[in-house]
A and B are shown apart, each in its own frame.
Chain A
């Protein structure tokens, strides 16, 4: 089946530094990828939609200058958390649509997630 790979799975950084998270579709091309964030005991919240070859679309309340998204190829999207602060500590998950699925046209495949801890 479709696989979405996310790297790194865990990262710890100092406050003020930038962190890049990669999301790759391994066996399919994804013109669109989605970035979610999950705080402890909360639901996954959509942050932005990453579009190959064009600008990302951000959800209301998400700072585009803070969370830089680049979708340079059909298999890779990156999320860069710039000047990270402790409040950015969270679980970041990417997802992609692997073409049309027999079980439903709206099914997304998720990566394993990246846990960011900002000290």
Chain B
């Protein structure tokens, strides 16, 4: 049973436009969510996180939105750059623990 789902395996966006990556979860008890970026042959690197008491968190070009009622979060990248091309994983956890449940990832390709 996949508790964290990323239904789009891939996404292509033109440079300068907005990239929107989506993530759905099933367990309403999750209270902390993260986005990681992964390049080939490298480990995931932390991008941005959000706790369940918020509905938005922004860091530069990256914004994460959380809709608890829909059990949905999204990552917005504006403006998208070719260097953003990577696989993006969302993860859910319980605050105070480090047990992450990862989605299957979305491969983002930003076209120059």
Contacts and interface: CB of A to CB of B under 8 A. Distances in A.
Interface in A29-75: 32, 34, 41-46, 49
A103 B41 contact: no
Interface stretch (B13-21, B66-74, B76-84, B98-106): B98-106
B49 interface: yes
Contacts of A19: none
B43 A106 contact: no
A108 B97 CA distance: 11
Contacts of B44: 44, 93, 110
Most B C-beta atoms less than 10 A away, residue of A43, A46, A97, A104: A43
B102 A43 contact: yes
A105 B42 contact: no
B102 A106 contact: no
Interface string B31-46: 0101010000111111
Contacts of B97: 106
Contact of A109 (B4, B42, B46, B104): B46
A78 interface: no
Interface residues of B, number: 29
Given A103-B49, A107-B49, A43 B42 contact: no
Contact of A44 (B51, B89, B98): B89
B93 interface: yes
B95 interface: yes
Nearest to B36: A110
Given A93-B44, A95-B43, 10 more contacts: A6-B43, A45-B102, A49-B99, A103-B48, A104-B32, A104-B34, A109-B46, A110-B36, A112-B41, A113-B42
